Structure 1
Amino acid sequence: MAGHSGTPELKFTHESLPQRVIFDSYAAAGHVAAEVDRLGARRPMLISTGTTIEVQGAVRHTEVVMHVPVEVAERARARAAAEAVDVLVAVGGGSTTGLAKAVALTTGLPIIAVPTTYAGSEATAVWGLTDGGGKTTGTDPRVLPRVVVYDAGLTLSLPVPLSVASGLNALAHCVDSMWAPRADPINRAFALEGARALNTGLPTVFDAPSDLEGRENALYGAHLAAVAFASAGSGLHHKICHVLGGLFNLPHAPTHAVLLPYVTALNEFAAPALAAAFGTPTAVEGLLSLQKRLDAPRSLRELGLNETDLPAAVDGVLPAVPAGNPAPIDRPRLAELLHRAWEGTDPR
């Protein structure tokens, strides 16, 4: 109609990543074998620290290190070249998928990812490498796994504390996707449904670790979270966590779990719909309630960060703050946020 400008929120450009996703509990091994054949591969490299599943004729590579140090990536790349590998099969958490991505980044080899945690790296084209205390991240279509095989049965052995931390890491993908640089109505819809599923599944995982339904809900939510995050991009929360991980070698998932309510308290005014995923008046209340319910880590101090490290953390994070963050960020505000997260005080 002439003169009608439309709804501002419904003017956007959204890009969905090309990926085959299989969700089938207790069936990963068969699906992996079929997908290796479908890709026409003959020499797989199985990247895994355990023996969760076997891949016939695979070269096994077990050196997996958190945050993917450059030298670890180089050794994996050299092994893939020496063994004439033609497909990478990553079975494990975010560090395992991250190593496969580092190999794919320079070789172009396809990845079949079989996640055993809720990290979500398998659904993104984001890679990360650490070198000399700094973490470099980027986006490249070569690192997006061609196939993801989700088997909730493989998560049953994941200890409850790690399940909680990993699940809250996935929830961080949902929350950050509400206001990240490329946030749009489609990835917000994925993020809200992902947050709802995680809020439903994680308490069941905590109370009944062998209950498959809880694990399936958590894995489903983690996938939606990762898809939303892949589209929306990295917001303030992830920028902070990447800097802290690279500078101080803090554990990835617990760091996300600790910081999430603090960044949410800062930015929630820009995404009031997020509260509905938790069934609480505000999303911060829902997150704090879930943290308490899951006995999750509550402070950076308990993760090993020293108070004397905080000024260096502020120096590292400030240049990485996204320009479009809903709440303006300056040095004093960032320093206050990090100090409160270090103490574990109420983010409200």
Structure 2
Amino acid sequence: MTGSGFIYTGHPSRVVFGFGTTAALPDEMARLGTRRALILTTPAQEAQGQRLADLLGEATVGVFAGAVMHTPVDVSDLAADRARQLKADVVVAIGGGSTTGLGKAIALRTGLPQIVLPTTYAGSEMTPILGETSGGQKRTQTTPKVLPQVVIYDIDYTLDLPVALSGTSGINAIAHAVEALYARDTNPVINLMAVEGIRALVRALPAISSDPHNRTARADALYGAWLCGICLGSVGMALHHKLCHTLGGTFDLPHAETHTLMLPHALAYNAPAIPEAMALLRTVLGPDPAQALYALGHAVGAPTSLEALGMPETGIPRAVDLALANPYWNPRPLERDALTALITRAHTGAAPIPG
């Protein structure tokens, strides 16, 4: 890699990592020169948002508990209007990818800075990428306007993360690193982060399944998710992420579970075209990385098929059509018959095979 040249762009963001780091939130707001925080959560995490409001006291102007999966445009518009009405000067997002996405959407519309407190392993908090859904389709854009200024990783939040969500959220993070290894603009820095991030998560996720309150495993998992998030935000993605956005946005499938199901199949499809990436993956996943990821999904109790997630079999041709629309880079050319077979196997829950 170094002999052929490369380009690496680092994205500026401040990271505070450890146990109990939420206590740093008031100081981090002060560093940004902000005094009026709008706190964002999903409906299920409103109580966590209220605890942040209590911590900030008069520096909180409101809690918006309306973040939902896939960041619908109408919710983004509503939340941005709320931020303007309350004269917020910073958004504080606590939660997973849905809440982080809403914070980014508000930042895009208002220019407000963001502080993110992740409670899952989604990794999107480290990226300048925003995906929003409208009319049944998810569209993504990359702009520094949506990159959070501060990310506070508090391992304590993950100690009670349900085992099933821990597993799928962690494999979702692994997907970022896997595709980063064979991205068109990959580079030695990202390769190091990707391999280290995968290693940490592969070590941590089975341990969490056995003992959800294993503090060492929880720290490893969040550390790995941070590294994988940097990978996602630093280089382009390919077939796997395109398929997951297509399936999630079109059939309203859960984000992390869809990534968990599709990753082994997308990797198997691309494997013949990415020998260097496969060699690196074998160092952390063993002789057959695609099968290892498939087995990892089963080991953490993830859903076993797209059918189980609610995707109808009749949707397979539409998913293939959408995956082939708006051509994008992938190390292996996209072939209709092979993609149909890939999605069909994922739909039935069959193990991945080379495409």
Whether TM exceeds 0.5 here: the answer is yes
Paired residues of 1:128 and 1:135 also in contact (CA < 8 A): yes
Which residue pairs with 1:4 in the alignment? none
More helix by percentage: 2
Which residue pairs with 2:262 in the alignment? 259
Give the secondary structure class of the aligned counterpart of 1:322: coil
Which residue pairs with 2:308 in the alignment? 302
Which residue pairs with 2:52 in the alignment? 54
2:91 to 66, 88, 93: 88
Which residue pairs with 1:16 in the alignment? 10
- Distance of 2:150 and 2:314 partners within structure 1: 44
Unaligned residue ranges in structure 2 (runs of 5+): none
Q: Superposed, which structure 2 residues align to 1:164-203 within 5 Å?
A: 164-203=167-206
- Distance of 1:68 and 1:266 partners within structure 2: 29
CA shift at 1:298, angstroms? 2.2
Which residue pairs with 1:79 in the alignment? 82
- Distance of 1:320 and 1:177 partners within structure 2: 21
User: Aligned pair 1:291/2:297, yes or no?
Assistant: yes
- Distance of 1:208 and 1:173 partners within structure 2: 25
- Distance of 1:304 and 1:48 partners within structure 2: 25
- Distance of 1:321 and 1:257 partners within structure 2: 24
- Distance of 1:142 and 1:13 partners within structure 2: 21
Paired residues of 1:10 and 1:185 also in contact (CA < 8 A): no
1:146-190 CA distances to partner (integer Å, 9 max, x unpaired)?
Answer: 010001110112111111111111111111111223222221211
- Distance of 2:340 and 2:218 partners within structure 1: 37
Give the secondary structure class of the aligned counterpart of 1:84: coil
User: Aligned pair 1:40/2:46, yes or no?
Assistant: no
Structure 2-normalised TM-score? 0.93
The number of equivalent residue pairs is 339
- Distance of 2:347 and 2:326 partners within structure 1: 20
Structure 1-normalised TM-score? 0.94
97-106 vs 332-341, which deviates more? 332-341
**CA RMSD of the aligned region, Å?**
1.3
CA shift at 1:62, angstroms? 0.5
Paired residues of 2:128 and 2:233 also in contact (CA < 8 A): yes
Paired residues of 1:239 and 1:320 also in contact (CA < 8 A): no
1:225 to 224, 228, 234: 228
1:173-223 CA distances to partner (integer Å, 9 max, x unpaired)?
Answer: 111111223222221211111000000111111110011111111100001
- Distance of 2:21 and 2:233 partners within structure 1: 26
Give the secondary structure class of the aligned counterpart of 1:217: helix
- Distance of 2:163 and 2:289 partners within structure 1: 24
Give the secondary structure class of the aligned counterpart of 1:46: strand
Following TM superposition, where does structure 1 have runs of at least 4 consecutive aligned residues deviating by more than 4 angstroms? Answer: 7-10
Identity %: 44
CA shift at 1:301, angstroms? 1.0
Closer, same or farther in 2 for the Cα pair 1:248/1:273, shift >3 Å?
Answer: same
- Distance of 1:212 and 1:193 partners within structure 2: 19
Which residue pairs with 1:101 in the alignment? 104
1:326 to 306, 331, 334: 331
CA shift at 1:322, angstroms? 2.7
